[in-house]
Amino acid sequence: MIHLQQVSKLYRTDRVETTALDNINLEIGKGEFVSVMGPSGCGKSTLLNLMGLLDEPSSGRVALDGKAIDRYGDRALSRVRNERIGFIFQQFHLVPDLSVADNVEIPLLYRRMSNRERRKAALAALDRVGLGSRTHHFPTQLSGGQQQRVAIARAIVGRPNILLADEPTGNLDSQMGDEIMGILEDLNQKEGTTIVMVTHDPRMADKTHRVVRLFDGRQVQ
Amino acid sequence: MIRNYLKVALKVLSRRKFFTFISLFGIGITLMVLLVATAMLDYVFAARTPEVHADRMLGVYQLTMQGKDDTETAPPGYAFLDRYVRPMAKLPSVERVALVSGAQTAVSYLNGRKIQSALRRADGEFWRVLAFDFVEGGPYTVADDEAGRFVAVISETTRERFFGGQPAVGRTIEADGQRFRVVGVVRDVPVLRFSSSADLWVPVTTAKTSAYKEEWLSGFYALILARSHADLPQVKAEFQSRLREAEKHLPDPKTFQHLYTGADTLFEGAARMFLPAGGAVADPGARLRAALLALMLGFMLLPTINLVNINLSRILDRASEIGVRRAFGASSRTLAGQLLIENLVLTLIGAAVGLILALGVLRAFNVSGLIPQTHFELNFRIFFYGLAIAVFFGLFSGVYPAWRMSKLHPVQALRGRSA
């Protein structure tokens, strides 16, 4: 489903050139739940950004369902992200000015839908993560675990078939982390959603189908 | 989507109240000044009593005589207008032509009290080209003017001054040592209506001497009423051809060889009077419009720069939101549109503040009597101009920040960086 072929990513400043990823070859199959592990700064988030079409490789090829995305323009990339990919971030990245339901609606704003359809889908997604009663709350009124559940609802509201989670349990205690992990496993098993999750926690990685390990930008497993 | 944008826009504004206040204050004051200026311009140039036919009226308000060593510019003289403009009334595209002098100060003494009035000398057609609002009696006629009858039409203020507000028709009024029988009283005309306002109007032929009949440059205007607005270009062209003909018969051909002016709308006429070398300018209206637009843009520059800066700092504030929106499918263009809409919301709220301030300022102007017989108001047309200015302002100050926002890299934005 996601295919990275000889992908490298360099960051250049005036004086320094840093290799974030070096010649990565990786295939993520449909319905897989893959975790990405490695020390801080090894390129895990960069890898996720490339899979999520948020960034472009310096060299190599990223393909989605066999289609290389290197020739896609901004609008086409935006459409693919909107329809196929959902993101979950360690910092949640909820918009503080919007209610829980409005936050969840964000991906649907970029689709042709009526307000009623949009709200219905958002409420269904919130029900799915057990927050159906908190739709009118604002992010600051919720606990960290609840905020991450809102972020998951936002990621799945558009029914994407790929979920990219960047340390989704990193800011949560173990109990809340387990709850979030339970939701992700459920999505993977019941809906067949392909999930790639960056994590530092071996306990969480053990629950996934496969672990990809990175070290200094290279794939070591 | 728009509803969500509006919701976010209002939340963002309420998040940083001080900056929002500064922005709204800047926009409000700017738009207030522009609205007040627009209201004043509208008051001077729009079709209203007595120039209700302003849309099909032209005037010859100025004449430039040019020679090798000398140039003179002044309102045209009666001789020039009588010979070359008045006959235009016979053209199929022209309904009437009236001649009227500029307002001069006339002194009267009443019970030992000195009264100064603005007096115009106008022919009988003047009352048919313009539509004064008579509260008593009626106008004098072409026959009255031709016969040199000492009759006068006065304003309500003049009636108040001379007759204590009592009926004035049939009574006598003295001005500059001449005595006139009042035949009509009209509602006051604001002094800003530069081709019609006065305190009393008397026939041209009652002038103390007949010297005006030979003058090419003195203090007269011609008002040409076309049959329709569509006839104006044709009337203007015909006037220019008559001007070329007049050039061949200049009274002092050794000193002056060329004549310049135009048959102008009220706006063009004012432009010709105010612009340097206005007499020789082919299209003074376009120049004045350009000058006013430049003035408006210049005036808007400072609040615009302020708003641009505030918008740019807001981008930094909202980097995470921008990153999220990009990640979930917003294209650069969509995001730029969002910021523009948010900026428009801010400027429209500013416009509402400006509108309220402008109403207050205009009311203060009207109450103060700073400009006599004037009652400024905000009508639907001015409101529309204000709205257009606000929208323009919103777009003008939003485009650059929106462009910067749209260029923000999603990964950088999610890390909370604006560049």
Please tell me the predicted confidence (pLDDT) of residue B279: 65
Question: How do residues B115-166 score in pLDDT, each as one tens digit?
Answer: 999 999 999 999 999 999 999 999 999 999 999 999 999 999 999 999 999 9
Instruction: Mark out the alpha helices in chain A (DSSP H runs).
Output: 44-51, 74-84, 100-105, 115-128, 144-156, 174-191, 202-205
* Length reported for chain A: 221
Q: What is the mean pLDDT of residues A20-40?
A: 93
Question: How do residues B76-94 score in pLDDT, each as one tens digit?
Answer: 999 999 999 999 999 999 9
Suggest the residue from B20, B324, B342, B406 to mutate for an interface test with chain A (most A CBs closer than 10 A).
B324
Max mean pLDDT range (A9-13, A195-199, B306-310): A195-199
Residue B419 banded pLDDT, cuts 50, 70, 90: very low
- Whether the upstream peptide bond of residue A168 has omega within 30° of 0, thus cis, is no
Please tell me the predicted confidence (pLDDT) of residue B328: 94
Please tell me the predicted confidence (pLDDT) of residue B185: 98
Please tell me the predicted confidence (pLDDT) of residue A161: 92
Domain edges within chain B:
2-46+287-414, 62-263
Given a cut of 70, is residue B107 above it in pLDDT?
Answer: yes
A93 touches chain B (CB under 8 A): yes
Structure tokens at A82: 């909107």
Burial code of B289-327, b = ≥16 C-beta within 10 A, e = fewer?
eeeeeeebeeebeebbebbbebbeebbeebbbbbbbbbb
Residue from the list B12, B325, B334 with its beta carbon closest to the beta carbon of A97 = B12
Given a cut of 90, is residue A198 above it in pLDDT?
Answer: yes
Residue found by looking up tokens 């009255």 in the block: B144
Residue from the list A74, A89, A95 with its beta carbon closest to the beta carbon of B331 = A74
Share of chain B above pLDDT 70, in %: 98
A113 touches chain B (CB under 8 A): no
Please tell me the predicted confidence (pLDDT) of residue B77: 96
| DSSP tag of A161 | S
A97 touches chain B (CB under 8 A): yes
Report CB contact under 8 Å: A107, B329: yes
Given a cut of 70, is residue A181 above it in pLDDT?
Answer: yes
Given a cut of 80, is residue A200 above it in pLDDT?
Answer: yes
- State how far residue A43 is from chain B, nearest Cα, in angstroms: 13
Domain hosting residue A105, numbered range:
2-219
Given a cut of 90, is residue B378 above it in pLDDT?
Answer: no
Report CB contact under 8 Å: B328, A93: no
Rounded distance, CA A1 to CA A194, Å?
A: 9
Structure tokens at A217: 């930008």
Asked if residues B201 and B126 have their Cβ atoms less than 8 Å apart, the reply is yes
Question: How do residues B359-368 score in pLDDT, each as one tens digit?
Answer: 999 999 888 8
Backbone angles phi, psi at B97, to 5 degrees: -130, 130
Residue from the list B12, B329, B410 with its beta carbon closest to the beta carbon of A79 = B329
| DSSP tag of A22 | E
Asked if residues A126 and A94 have their Cβ atoms less than 8 Å apart, the reply is no
- State how far residue A178 is from chain B, nearest Cα, in angstroms: 25
ipTM: 0.93
- State how far residue B17 is from chain A, nearest Cα, in angstroms: 14
Cα Rg of chain A, angstroms = 17
Given a cut of 80, is residue B275 above it in pLDDT?
Answer: no
Q: What is the mean pLDDT of residues B211-220?
A: 93
Suggest the residue from B12, B16, B331, B403 to mutate for an interface test with chain A (most A CBs closer than 10 A).
B331
What residue of B is the nearest CA neighbor of A90? B414
Residue A59, domain CATH: 3.40.50.300
Q: Cβ contacts (< 8 Å) between B327 and chain A: which residues?
A: 52, 54, 81, 87
Please tell me the predicted confidence (pLDDT) of residue B414: 86
Nearest-CA neighbor of B410 among B342, B312, B332, B313? B332
Please tell me the predicted confidence (pLDDT) of residue B39: 87
Three-state SS letters, A25-62? EEEECCCCEEEEECCCCCCHHHHHHHHCCCCCCCEEEE
Q: What is the mean pLDDT of residues B302-325?
A: 84
Q: Cβ contacts (< 8 Å) between A102 and chain B: which residues?
A: 4, 7
Share of chain B above pLDDT 90, in %: 52
The rounded mean pLDDT for chain A is: 91
Residue A88's contacts (CB-CB under 8 Å, 6 or more residues apart) are A148, A151, A152, A155, A163, A164, A165, A166, A168
- State how far residue A74 is from chain B, nearest Cα, in angstroms: 6
Q: What distance lies between CA B95 and its chain's CA centroid?
A: 25
Q: What is the mean pLDDT of residues A50-61?
A: 93
Phi-psi region of A6 (alpha: psi -120 to 50; beta: other; left: phi over 0): left
Element (H, E) at A210: strand A210-215
Phi-psi region of A216 (alpha: psi -120 to 50; beta: other; left: phi over 0): left
Which residue would you say has higher pLDDT here, B235 or B287?
B235
Report CB contact under 8 Å: A106, B331: no
Question: How do residues A34-52 score in pLDDT, each as one tens digit?
Answer: 999 999 889 999 999 999 9
Residue B417 banded pLDDT, cuts 50, 70, 90: low
Q: Cβ contacts (< 8 Å) between B8 and chain A: which residues?
A: 95, 97-98
Q: What is the mean pLDDT of residues B316-323?
A: 85
| DSSP tag of B293 | H
Which chain B residues touch A if contact means CB-CB below 8 Å?
A: 1, 3-4, 7-8, 11-12, 15, 320-321, 323-334, 409-411, 414
Q: Cβ contacts (< 8 Å) between B409 and chain A: which residues?
A: 55
* 3-class state of residue B372 by DSSP: coil
Would the pTM count as exceeding 0.95? Answer: no
Residue from the list B3, B334, B414 with its beta carbon closest to the beta carbon of A93 = B414
Q: Cβ contacts (< 8 Å) between B3 and chain A: which residues?
A: 115
Q: What is the mean pLDDT of residues A12-23?
A: 86
The rounded mean pLDDT for chain B is: 89
Rounded distance, CA A19 to CA A22, Å?
A: 7
Please tell me the predicted confidence (pLDDT) of residue B278: 61
How many independent structural domains does chain A possess?
Answer: 1
Rounded distance, CA A64 to CA A1, Å?
A: 6
Strands B200-203 and B113-122: parallel
Least confident of B134-143, B154-163, B245-254, B334-343: B334-343
What residue of A is the nearest CA neighbor of B10? A97
Q: How far lies B118's CA from each of B104, B189, B208, in Å?
A: 5, 11, 17
Residue from the list B7, B324, B334 with its beta carbon closest to the beta carbon of A93 = B324
Q: Cβ contacts (< 8 Å) between A98 and chain B: which residues?
A: 4, 7-8, 11
Identify the burial level of A78 via C-beta atoms within 10 angstroms of its C-beta, where 0-12 means exposed, 13-18 middle and 19 or more buried.
buried
Suggest the residue from A50, A95, A105, A154 to mutate for an interface test with chain B (most B CBs closer than 10 A).
A95
Given a cut of 50, is residue B324 above it in pLDDT?
Answer: yes
Which residue would you say has higher pLDDT here, A46 or B390?
A46
Asked if residues B158 and B171 have their Cβ atoms less than 8 Å apart, the reply is no
Q: Cβ contacts (< 8 Å) between A79 and chain B: which residues?
A: 329
